[in-house]
Amino acid sequence: CRYSVLLGRNWRNSDRSLPVAVTRGIPPPSSPGVDWPLVLGSFSAAVLFLFSLVFVVLVARRRVNTAAVDKKRRQEDKFWTQRHAQDRVIAVPVRSSSFPPEEWSSRDSETESRSSLWSPLSTFTTPMSPIH
């Protein structure tokens, strides 16, 4: 190769360079065999891809299961909220049909006098002692 360079107002030419030996790529192997680096690289890429795929599937499955559990819990909470909203405690006095209505007032006064000592809702058979 020869180069021309402008130096000031004059062109100067370089000396010829020595010829360069050029080879055309890597020569083929002398004996056709297995390209082990290519095989191992392909195998490791396949294993890495499979592990990545398994990881993505496991994460997706876990999220789906978590979402299903959360949805079930929300539905149960909603059910019980609605159920508790329907609960209405109504105190209805129960009158015995064996006493005529005239005796109800006398029984009410008896109940009022002992209501501080005995609770009809108590599971105990003995009266409660008054708290001092």
CA angle 115, 118, 121 (to 5 degrees): 95
Question: Within 10 Å of residue 28's Cβ, how many Cβ atoms?
Answer: 7
Q: How confident is the model at residue 20 (pLDDT cuts 50, 70, 90)?
A: confident
Residue 76 lies in a domain: yes
> What is the tens place of the pLDDT at every residue in 61-72?
999 999 999 999
Residue 27 lies in a domain: no
| pLDDT for 90 beyond 90 | no
Q: How confident is the model at residue 126 (pLDDT cuts 50, 70, 90)?
A: low
Please say whether the beta carbons of 14 and 5 come within 8 A: yes
CA angle 64, 69, 75 (to 5 degrees): 125
To which residue do tokens 């599937």 refer?
A: 57
Residue 112 lies in a domain: no
Residue 36 lies in a domain: no
> What is the tens place of the pLDDT at every residue in 41-54?
999 999 999 999 99
Residue 83 lies in a domain: yes
Residue 69 lies in a domain: yes
Which range of residues forms the domain containing residue 79? 56-88
Average pLDDT, the chain: 78
Residue 24 lies in a domain: no
Residue 16 lies in a domain: no
**Total number of domains constituting the chain:** 1
